Chain A
Amino acid sequence: MKHKKAKKYGMVIDLDKCTGCGSCMVACMAENNVPFRKDESDKLLSITWMRIYKLTNGKPFPNIDICYLPRPCMHCEGQHEGHSPCVTVCPAIATDYSIETGIVSQIYTRCFGCRYCMASCPYHARYFNWWDPVWPDGMEKYLSPNVSPRMRGVVEKCSFCFHRYQMAKEKAFMEGRRELKEDEYQTACTQACPAGAITFGDLNNPNHAVHRMVKPDLKHHGRPTNPNAFRLLERLGTNPKVYYLSSREWVRRAGDNYLEKEVKLKKTVHHG
Chain B
Amino acid sequence: MSALDNNAKEIAKDAGDEGVTTSSPEINQKEQDNRSAGPVILFFIFGLFASLILGWIIFPKLLYSKKKQPIDFNHVLHVAEVEDGCESCHFFREDGTYSGVPKLEQCIDCHEEIQGDSPDEIKFVEEYVSKGREVPWLIYSRQPDCVFFSHAAHVKVAGMDCVTCHGHIGESESLKIYEENRITGYSRDIWGKSIGGFKKNTWDRMKMDDCAECHQEKTANIERTDVKTPTNRLIDHLIDVVYPGTSKSGKGSSIQTERDACFVCHK
Contacts and interface: CB of A to CB of B under 8 A. Distances in A.
A100 B261 contact: yes
B150 interface: yes
A166 B96 CA distance: 10
B84 to A, nearest CB: 16
**Number of chain A interface residues as a range:** 35 or more
Nearest to B92: A174
Contacts of B263: 96, 98, 101, 103, 105, 159, 162, 166
A81 B230 CA distance: 9
Interface string A29-49: 000000000000000000000
B152 interface: yes
Interface stretch (A132-140, A144-152, A208-216, A260-268): A144-152
A174 B254 contact: no
A109 B164 CA distance: 26
B95 interface: yes
Interface in B92-134: 92, 94-97
B150 A166 contact: yes
B255 A83 contact: yes
A166 B254 contact: no
B148 A107 contact: no
A93 B257 contact: yes
B146 A108 contact: yes
Given A87-B255, A105-B261, 15 more contacts: A2-B223, A4-B227, A81-B229, A81-B255, A83-B255, A93-B257, A98-B264, A146-B267, A159-B263, A162-B267, A167-B95, A173-B157, A174-B92, A174-B94, A175-B96
Interface of B: 92, 94-97, 144-146, 148, 150, 152-153, 156-157, 222-230, 253-257, 261-264, 266-267
29 contacts: A2-B222, A4-B226, A5-B226, A83-B255, A87-B255, A90-B256, A93-B256, A96-B254, A96-B255, A98-B261, A98-B262, A99-B253, A99-B261, A101-B261, A105-B261, A147-B267, A148-B266, A162-B267, A163-B148, A163-B267, A166-B267, A169-B153, A170-B95, A170-B152, A173-B156, A173-B157, A174-B152, A174-B156, A176-B156
Interface of A: 1-6, 80-83, 87, 90, 93, 95-101, 103, 105, 107-110, 146-149, 159, 162-163, 166-167, 169-176
